[in-house]
Chain A
Amino acid sequence: MFATTVSSGVVVLVGAVFLACAVEMVEALTIVFAVGHTRGWRSAFEGVAVALLALAALVAAFGPALVHVPLTTLRLIIGGVLLIFGMQWLRKAILRSSGLKAKHDEDAIYQETVRELQSATPGTGRDRIAFVMAFKGVFLEGLEVVITVLTLGTSAHRLGLAAIVATIAVVLVGIIGVVVAKQLSAVPENAMKMSVGVLLVSYGTFWVGEGLKVRWPGNDSFLVAFVGIYAVVCWILITMIKPRTSSSSVKVGA
């Protein structure tokens, strides 16, 4: 039996960081695979390495600075950012689940990236296009990981735990990605995005309240109530907007 008690806040933190990082890693890996298979792995790996260095520099620059911001202010700002970010994720996931928006298809993204890369003529020496594509893919998706880890980690005073969970998620998805080659489309990305959205909005709501000195009933435990409330709201919204017949399903822009 485990003698230690784990607070509900920690469980939500671990879940949010793990799922968010896994989703972003799937997206980055799809681009890197497309670049590697089409233009060769050397430039792809160089792009990945430089992107990781740039991300590490960002963490080194902003991570320690965040620790010095007063906790109430930090929670209000981060809560606001998470509230917006989470609602954006939920909105997309709800529209996708109801069939009103095309699902994120890793196979289609892979094929599109390959087509784009094949149409560009390779130069001599370093393949600049492949390098830039791999760099952008990893840096932009990685930036979302960094923001998620820094915001959730610092606000909960568990930056170390958030970083460890993020590393595990990234390594795990990386290993699975390499093992299954490029079949990342099998990952239930929309369901994961829906879960992350629910967790981010829950954290956002909780911390905006904390930042504005709202006293939540049951303190941290109220986070779990938020998770339940937002999950039910999502289910209601999907049911509400789902087209009655499949022929009427249409797509909205990304």
Chain B
Amino acid sequence: MNNEQPLVVRLLKGFGMFWWDFLVGDTPELFVAALVIIGAVSLLSEAWHANTAAVIVLPVLAVAALTISVKRASDGAKRK
């Protein structure tokens, strides 16, 4: 039973659930996209020292992620 769990466990669970809903929720593609963006820009900037490429790639990937997510939602809505 949920109420039988110690308060600390319930608080930790609640905290974890909040962050899961906050960051992943119903748009896991945006969460994954943010990780990809960080990985790609990290490679460009810190490993390959390609600053100009990083300046361009970061917003381009963010726009691409937003476009894909919006397009998926709109296609789903139009199919209904």
Report which A residues bind B (CB closer than 8 A): 76, 80-81, 83-85, 87-88, 90-91, 94-95, 98, 100-101, 143, 147, 201, 204-205, 208-209, 212-217, 226, 229-230, 233, 237, 241, 243, 248, 250-253
| B59 A229 Cβ-Cβ under 8 A | yes
When distances are taken between beta carbons in the complex, the residues of chain A under 8 Å from B78 are: 100, 243, 248, 250
| B77 A213 Cβ-Cβ under 8 A | no
| A91 B73 Cβ-Cβ under 8 A | yes
Q: Once bound together, how far apart are the Cα atoms of A253 and B80, in whole Å?
A: 11
Given A88-B30, A212-B54, A226-B59, A100 contacting B18 (CB threshold 8 A): no
When distances are taken between beta carbons in the complex, the residues of chain B under 8 Å from A208 are: 37-38, 41, 58
Given A90-B66, A252-B73, A209 contacting B38 (CB threshold 8 A): no
Number of B interface residues at 8 Å Cβ cutoff, please give it. Answer: 36
Q: Is the interface of A mostly helix, strand, loop or mixed?
A: helix
**12 A–B contacts, CB within 8 A, in A order:** A84-B23, A98-B74, A100-B78, A208-B37, A209-B45, A209-B54, A215-B51, A237-B70, A241-B71, A250-B80, A252-B73, A252-B76
- A157 → chain B, closest Cβ, in Å? 22
